[in-house]
Amino acid sequence: MLVPPNRLGSLSGDAAYISVFIQQRTSGPVVLVGHSYGGAVITNAAASDPDVKALVDVNGFAPDQGESTLQLANALPGSDLAGDPTTKFDFVAYPGAPAGDVDLYIKQTVFPHAFANDLPASTAAMLAASQRPITFSAAAEPSGLVLGTKAGRRGPRGGRRPAPATRATQASPTVTLAHLSEMLEAGFGDRPHGLLALPSDVPSEG
């Protein structure tokens, strides 16, 4: 099992990084596991890598071609990230940014309910304070499902197309913390925006 970093810089660049990582750090068939924005990254990385035999989304975005994660987060009324982005995110300039690009931090008043609604308040506050930012360009970049029965707080409730094999858990997007034993059983640890590269002989059922 390998846990590559998710750079959160651009969707195409992050996917290309994972493809290179797979080529240089693995041999033979691979199963990719992604959480949150990591789901969009593995969806795109898999399209160009014949060694990737399966994808596992843990409350992950897997957009259709032309969709972005921001579009999915705004797809239904009631999403905690829908609406005026200035009320949902703190915009922070970063060195060397392309014109108009910024780092996005989910506001600390929004984060607990949007991402950690089944965790203790102190844990949710810690996660909000320590979150890594994603660039606006990465979140808005068009891609080529959203899983998790409570992930509707960030977008659609459930995927729009069936997956061949899934396991549903009542959980917030921070499922890897709130239901850590179930995620460890399935081979997925605590990786916000995270990625895993697994050998293809890992069982599909924990």
What's the confidence (pLDDT) of residue 174?
Answer: 52
What's the confidence (pLDDT) of residue 185?
Answer: 53
**181 lies in a domain?**
yes
Longest dimension (CA), the chain: 46
pLDDT digits (tens, 9 = 90+) for 151-175: 434 443 333 332 333 343 444 455 4
**205 lies in a domain?**
no
pTM of the model: 0.73
What's the confidence (pLDDT) of residue 153?
Answer: 41
Extract the residue ranges of the chain whose pLDDT is less than 50: 145-172, 175-180, 183-184, 186-195, 198-206
Name the DSSP class of 168: -
What's the confidence (pLDDT) of residue 159?
Answer: 34
Q: Which structural domain, as residue segments, surrounds residue 41?
A: 11-199
Mapping DSSP to helix (H, G, I), strand (E, B) and coil, where does residue 36 land? strand
**4 lies in a domain?**
no
Number of domains comprising the chain = 1
d(CA 92, CA 64): 29
**191 lies in a domain?**
yes
What's the confidence (pLDDT) of residue 150?
Answer: 44
d(CA 125, CA 102): 23
**15 lies in a domain?**
yes
Q: Which of 109, 69, 59, 63 is nearest to 86 (CA)?
A: 109
Question: Is the Cα dihedral 90, 71, 145, 22 positive or negative?
Answer: negative
Q: Which of 172, 165, 173, 177 is nearest to 206 (CA)?
A: 165
**75 lies in a domain?**
yes
| CATH number, position 177 | 3.40.50.1820
Residue 73, amino acid: A
Q: Which of 53, 41, 43 is nearest to 161 (CA)?
A: 43
